[in-house]
Structure 1
Amino acid sequence: MPAAALAAPTTTFAGLPAPLALTLFFALALVASVLAKLWLASRQVRHVAAHRDRVPPAFAGRITPQAHRKAADYTLARSRFGLLELALGTVLLLGWTLLGGLDLLNHALVDWLGTGMLQQIALVAAFVAIGSLVDLPGALYQTFVLEERFGFNKMTLGLWLADLAKSTLVGAVIGLPLLALMLWLMGAAGRFWWLWAWGVWMGFNLLLLVVYPSFIAPLFNKFQPLQDESLKARVTALMQRCGFSAKGLYVMDGSRRSAHANAYFTGFGAAKRVVFYDTLLSKLSPGEVDAVLAHELGHFRHRHIPKRIATLFALSLAGFALLGWLSTQGWFYLGLGVRPNMSGPNDALALLLFLLVMPVAGFFFGPLSARLSRKHEFEADAFAVAQTSGADLSQALLKLYEDNASTLTPDPLYVKFYYSHPPAAERLARMTA
């Protein structure tokens, strides 16, 4: 919306002009979140390093000292790289907001394109492109230095560049029309535009669950039907026993890119598929594959997926409603270092500012989400133990922890903030109990 339609920025909070109050609040929240992340990362580094040379007694004889040290070193390397990413991300966030980067980009595009839909789409596209270019060296380092050092990277530079080109093209083909529709709704759907935009966003996410397995994922990986008849019979019997049906059982060529192993369900409704990484099938016995699949089936039996989708619906609705209000407040723009357009829409500005600042506040709610996710993992483990062999699940998890170089000795407080899956010691103790 044009600046003339914005609420006057003369509102005060705690005796301060609203723009200044927002600036101070944002700066304090950013400093608090960065300090908290640094403290948690330092705890994780110290805790993992202190336990690097001794396999925990619960895993003695099951995990070799060499594998334990590799997991510790991999965790330490990722943590230290994460600190560099945190520093760069903080500088970039300040640069876009309080230091005036987004304001400069916006007015440069207004001078070039004028105000209107084209300028708004160009602003978001330029913002995404600049952010992607800034992230590019880190992505290259993570793949071809860090992952390579620990023997996980299987990608060539050519494959990496091909993936980058395809993901950029897919993002543009899907994202630009969706962005244009959202911006049009913000300007044309009246006071409750955010309700219509929320409906479009949720519909898009549900549609993506259906089309991704069949049309998008095959652009990046090859999916072959599971050929092992004996394993197929075991898996099919397990799914029938659990009252679950899927469109097909597939093997994905994950080994083209990484040595990490995994298995997952994808799709929605009748389009659900079971996908095994080829690296997983090469490392686990048939009974262990059964146990891993039973864990995933446990998520469906406990309706974790619908619950998470419902939570996403509720949180996104609240987010769109908040954006609907903030986009009409002049202090929202000025307090974050942006001058609204004097004649012309500010919808893209509001959207970008909202996306920039919300993760700062969201960090402090992260432990709640992580705790709920860990609870779901425990429930899925219990279901798997009831349906298959607990010994097979335990052995499979140990192989996956070792294969992915996941540390067995994370800092307990770091776990509470960040871990969506329980540490290995907690999972195996629950299974034994």
Structure 2
Amino acid sequence: MASNLTILFVSLLVLTTAIRIWLGRRHVSYIQSHRNQVPPAFSTSISLDAHKKAADYSSAKTRTALLETAVQALLLAALTIGGGLQLIDDIWRDVLPQHDILRGALVILSALLVSSLIDLPFDYYRTFVVDQHFGFNKMTPSMYFLDMIKHSIVGFLLGAPLLFAALWLMQGAGDYWWLYLWIVWSAFNLLMLAIYPTFIAPLFNKFSPLADESLKSRIEALLTKCGFKSQGLFVMDGSTRSSHGNAYFTGFGASKRVVFFDTLLERLDTDEIEAVLAHELGHFKHKHVIKRIALMFLVSFVGLAVLGWLAQQEWFYAGLGVTQTSDYMALLLFLLVSPVFLFLLRPLLAGYSRKNEFEADAYAAKNADARYLVEALVKLYRDNASTLTPDPLHSAFYDSHPPASIRIAKLAAFTAR
């Protein structure tokens, strides 16, 4: 069984890496082949220079991702069948031979640290080379590393208790530890949804109440019309880090709030902002957030049940390069290798997300003017340098939002009606 798992894992790792690289190269080729002509639906609203900029920006990001994909695959192979995880485990066994839970937490944190250090140069390059070159980055290196340190501290303070709880349950809660862990995990995620807007997000950005009274009145009227109650309307200082614009809902239950990037408010007029908000309200009205939470709980339930079985199989460890079985190693192996086994399901998840976006657009068209949503989207496509011509197959795997041309065409049909 162990050798069969090794063969299956290596085969899938090679296959999925090859597919990801092929999709990326196909995406770049498709974008560049359409670089010199603006799609007819956008010919009057987006200039050829802006279209070329979007094509080059998307291509540059994808080329960076191609190299990152190859490096991540090599790292995963080195950690598993290459014996890297077992080496980390051996080191900590020498340091802490008697403390299983603490040793397990340190082994997992060490492996995650190695992975983060490998990813760091790519993230830095995207920020200070790619985004900088195309005029989007507003961060300084000191701000970048300060953010990284704050993210690490917050992640540790929130994640460490959950990790220790998981290892404690795995060690002492009997055969159904995975069910108890699922309950803890679900409660933790609900707690994070509730406290994120008020306690966590302000650690990284400033949130100010919306000051424009005219816009505030329009938005509050729309919220009342759609039956949405929020804790408030806030403006986030997104411009301190990037010139990209966005708007979103955050929070859960009584902590829900509406957040606008300051960059978004600078680019869109009142009618367009109202239409964008109506789209976001469509997600609320169709219960997309609740459905995604329910899906996450279902997937985690199945995943932890599978892990509960795999943790008892010696071939699971041996087939992935680990010679000494342990609860923490089962958890770490599962976290690292499961994305390889699930990669081919990505089009299903992306397709479901795009379906939600179409539903939210339809809701916006009924409760605001679809023409203004089209105008807002066109501005965002242009100002964010989003490609108008993604490769359809690449989009099916990676894009949570519909391609621009298809989305605009559907909204134009609502306008015509």
Please, what TM-score do these two structures have when normalized by structure 2?
0.98
Partner of 2:224: 240
Alignment pair present for 1:359 and 2:359: no
Q: Give the Cα–Cα distance (whole angstroms) in 2 for the partners of residues 83 and 416 of structure 1.
A: 17
Does the Cα contact within 8 Å between 1:143 and 1:153 map onto a contact in 2? yes
Pairing partner for 2:369 from 365, 369, 389? 389
Which one-letter code corresponds to 1:326 in the other structure?
L
How many correspondences in the alignment?
412
Does the Cα contact within 8 Å between 2:371 and 2:412 map onto a contact in 1? no
Which one-letter code corresponds to 1:119 in the other structure?
R
Does the Cα contact within 8 Å between 1:330 and 1:340 map onto a contact in 2? no
1:298-317 aligned within 5 A? 298-317=282-301
Q: Give the Cα–Cα distance (whole angstroms) in 2 for the partners of residues 278 and 34 of structure 1.
A: 38
Please report how far the alpha carbon of residue 374 of structure 1 lies from its aligned counterpart in structure 2 after TM superposition. 0.4
2:361 counterpart SS class: helix
Pairing partner for 1:168 from 152, 159, 165? 152
Pairing partner for 2:354 from 374, 381, 384? 374
Pairing partner for 1:74 from 19, 34, 57? 57
Alignment pair present for 1:21 and 2:1: no
Q: Give the Cα–Cα distance (whole angstroms) in 2 for the partners of residues 363 and 142 of structure 1.
A: 24
Which one-letter code corresponds to 1:229 in the other structure?
E
Partner of 1:293: 277
Alignment pair present for 1:197 and 2:177: no
1:320-359 aligned within 5 A? 320-341=304-325, 346-359=326-339
Which stretches of structure 1, 4 residues or more, deviate above 6 A after TM superposition?
A: none
1:244 counterpart SS class: coil
Pairing partner for 2:69 from 86, 99, 112? 86
Which one-letter code corresponds to 2:37 in the other structure?
R
**1:330-350 deviation per Cα after TM superposition (whole angstroms, max 9, x unaligned):** 000000000125xxxx11100
2:248 counterpart SS class: strand
Which one-letter code corresponds to 1:159 in the other structure?
M
1:409 counterpart SS class: coil
2:175 counterpart SS class: coil
Partner of 1:51: 34
1:339 counterpart SS class: coil
Q: Give the Cα–Cα distance (whole angstroms) in 1 for the partners of residues 209 and 180 of structure 2.
A: 40
What's the C-alpha RMSD, in Å, of the aligned pairs? 0.8
1:192 counterpart SS class: helix
Please report how far the alpha carbon of residue 40 of structure 1 lies from its aligned counterpart in structure 2 after TM superposition. 1.1
Partner of 2:411: 431
**1:364-418 deviation per Cα after TM superposition (whole angstroms, max 9, x unaligned):** 0000000010010000000001111111000000111111111001111111111
Alignment pair present for 1:265 and 2:245: no
Please report how far the alpha carbon of residue 142 of structure 1 lies from its aligned counterpart in structure 2 after TM superposition. 1.0
1:191 counterpart SS class: helix
Does the Cα contact within 8 Å between 1:323 and 1:351 map onto a contact in 2? yes
Percent identity, please.
53
Which one-letter code corresponds to 1:77 in the other structure?
A
**1:249-289 deviation per Cα after TM superposition (whole angstroms, max 9, x unaligned):** 00000000000000000000111000000000000000000
Unmatched segments (≥5 aa) in structure 1: 1-17
1:248-263 aligned within 5 A? 248-263=232-247
Please report how far the alpha carbon of residue 125 of structure 1 lies from its aligned counterpart in structure 2 after TM superposition. 1.4
**1:154-213 deviation per Cα after TM superposition (whole angstroms, max 9, x unaligned):** 001111111111111111111111110110000111000000000000000000000111
Pairing partner for 2:161 from 167, 177, 193? 177
1:72-151 aligned within 5 A? 72-115=55-98, 116-151=100-135
**1:273-311 deviation per Cα after TM superposition (whole angstroms, max 9, x unaligned):** 000000000000000000000000000111111111111
Pairing partner for 1:210 from 183, 186, 194? 194
Does the Cα contact within 8 Å between 2:234 and 2:259 map onto a contact in 1? yes
Unmatched segments (≥5 aa) in structure 2: none
Which one-letter code corresponds to 1:420 in the other structure?
S
Please report how far the alpha carbon of residue 57 of structure 1 lies from its aligned counterpart in structure 2 after TM superposition. 1.1
